[in-house]
Amino acid sequence: MPARSMVVMPHGPVAHQAGTRGYRRMTAALCGAGLASFAAMYCSQALLPALSAHYRIGPATAALTVSLTTGALALSIIPASVLSERYGRIRVMLISGVASSVIGLLLPFSPSLGVLLFGRAAQGVALAGIPAVAMALLAEEVDASSLGSAMGRYIAGTTIGGLAGRIVPSVVVQVGTWRVALLACSLITLAGTAVFAVLVPRSRFFTPKPASVRAALRNLAGHLRNPVLAKLFAVGFVLMGGFVTVYNYLGYRLAARPFGLAPSVVGLLFLLYLVGTGTSVVAGRLADRRGRPLVLGAALPIAVAGLLLTVPATLAAIVAGVGVFTGGFFAAHTVASGWVGAVAQRDRAEASALYLFSYYLGGSVAGAFGGVLYGVGGWSATVCFVVVLLMAGAALVALLVRDNGFRIGRRVVTSVASVK
- DSSP secondary structure string, 366-383? HHHHHHHHHHHHHHHHHH
Least confident stretch, 56-60, 150-154, 365-369, 409-413: 409-413
Check if the beta carbon of residue 23 is closer than 8 Å to that of residue 16: yes
Strand, helix or coil at 16? strand
CA-to-CA distance for 361 and 244, rounded, in angstroms? 11
Q: Is the pLDDT of residue 6 over 70?
A: no
Strand, helix or coil at 201? coil
**What are the tens digits of pLDDT across the range 337-363?**
888 877 877 777 678 788 889 988 998
CA-to-CA distance for 319 and 162, rounded, in angstroms? 17
Domains in the chain: boundaries: 21-419
**What are the tens digits of pLDDT across the range 320-330?**
999 999 999 98
Choose from 5-9, 141-145, 336-340, 412-416 the range with maximum mean pLDDT.
336-340
CA-to-CA distance for 283 and 279, rounded, in angstroms? 6
Q: What is the DSSP-derived secondary structure letter of residue 347? A: S
CA-to-CA distance for 291 and 175, rounded, in angstroms? 48
Strand, helix or coil at 418? helix
Q: Is the pLDDT of residue 10 over 60?
A: no
Give the model's pLDDT for residue 7: 38
**Burial state string for 332-359 with b = 16 or more CB within 10 A and e = fewer than 16:** bbbbbbbbbbbbbbebbbbbbbbbbbbb
pTM, whole model, 2 decimals?
0.77
Reported confidence tier of residue 404, pLDDT bands at 50, 70, 90: low
Reported confidence tier of residue 8, pLDDT bands at 50, 70, 90: very low
Q: Is the pLDDT of residue 54 over 80?
A: yes
Of 159, 38, 146, 281, the C-alpha closest to 138 is 146
Average pLDDT over residues 276-302: 85
Reported confidence tier of residue 385, pLDDT bands at 50, 70, 90: very high
Q: Is the pLDDT of residue 55 over 50?
A: yes
Q: Is the pLDDT of residue 414 over 70?
A: no
Q: Tell me the CATH class for 21-419.
A: mainly alpha
Q: Which residues contact 12 (CB under 8 A, 6 or more apart)?
A: none
Strand, helix or coil at 264? helix
Check if the beta carbon of residue 113 is closer than 8 Å to that of residue 150: no
